[in-house]
Structure 1
């Protein structure tokens, strides 16, 4: 099996088109005050603890469940190309650890085509995460992002 197939077998992806220009979608991903408004599944509150938005910079968010239980999410920015992509290591403790998240932005007039990928260390771990609800969980997050982007 070639390397591309191995990578594909370890990657889960979601695609969306947002009714907002790429600059606005980028801003939602890069400003801590915006991130706090949409990051995390519906029903969770998010507190940005650290946000050093540069290659090598660390990020840490606390997602607070309605019952008060907290989930720590953190990582390090690996690659940033303005208005195009953000690649980061990521841990979502205690559910998902040791993954890479990739956000790709493509301007399409006054809309943004968005692709989100999570690369897992192994194919088995990838399948486990998929069964745990990857599509619903991240789908809910991007529903919140869409609501944030379209709110006046």
Structure 2
């Protein structure tokens, strides 16, 4: 399993997931930069993603929805802040309605994804920061740890396939 550590800190309002992949950072970068590859790993295995828009550039927006086994769709978006190819990127991640319009009543996280080479592999550090402890607790209660870990744990098999 690629995920090696999961930690959340209510005081600093952060969730940090660390994972290790048997591929160089440039290959992991491609997974996020290509919408068709992103669909294979974004969202837990039970809720596959469909990327609708993919403007993977500073100031750009990525919109997507995940589909439950019952067919229910859950929308989301990324607002890209910065890219540091192939070492990572920074973006806001929020919830969206059925029209992929942001839902202001749900938390938005500031995310920093970092990909560092180590012994021919990639150590990825995924940090999500929230505006309040209540926002972090809300997504923890919604299952963000299980969902994000399940999604990240798909990456090695995707890269090997």
Query: Is residue 90–residue 111 contact of structure 2 (8 Å, CA) maintained in 1?
Result: yes
Aligned with 2:75: secondary structure? strand
Shift of the alpha carbon at 1:124? Answer: 2.2
- Quick one: structure 1 residues 117 and 8, their matched pair in 2 at CA, closer, same or farther if it must change by over 3 Å? farther
Q: How many residue pairs end up in the alignment?
A: 146
Shift of the alpha carbon at 1:146? Answer: 2.2
TM-score normalised by length of structure 2: 0.82
Shift of the alpha carbon at 1:93? Answer: 4.0
Aligned with 1:53: secondary structure? coil
Shift of the alpha carbon at 1:84? Answer: 1.3
Shift of the alpha carbon at 1:19? Answer: 0.9
1:129 correspondence with 2:139 = yes
Task: Give CA-to-partner distance per residue, 1:59-91, whole Å, 9 cap, x none.
Answer: 101111111100111021001111112111111
Shift of the alpha carbon at 1:106? Answer: 0.3
CA–CA distance in 2 between the matches of 1:139 and 1:82?
A: 23
Structure 1 unaligned runs (5+)?
Answer: 1-5
Aligned with 1:97: secondary structure? coil
Cα RMSD, aligned residues only: 2.0
Structure 2 unaligned runs (5+)?
Answer: 1-8, 98-102
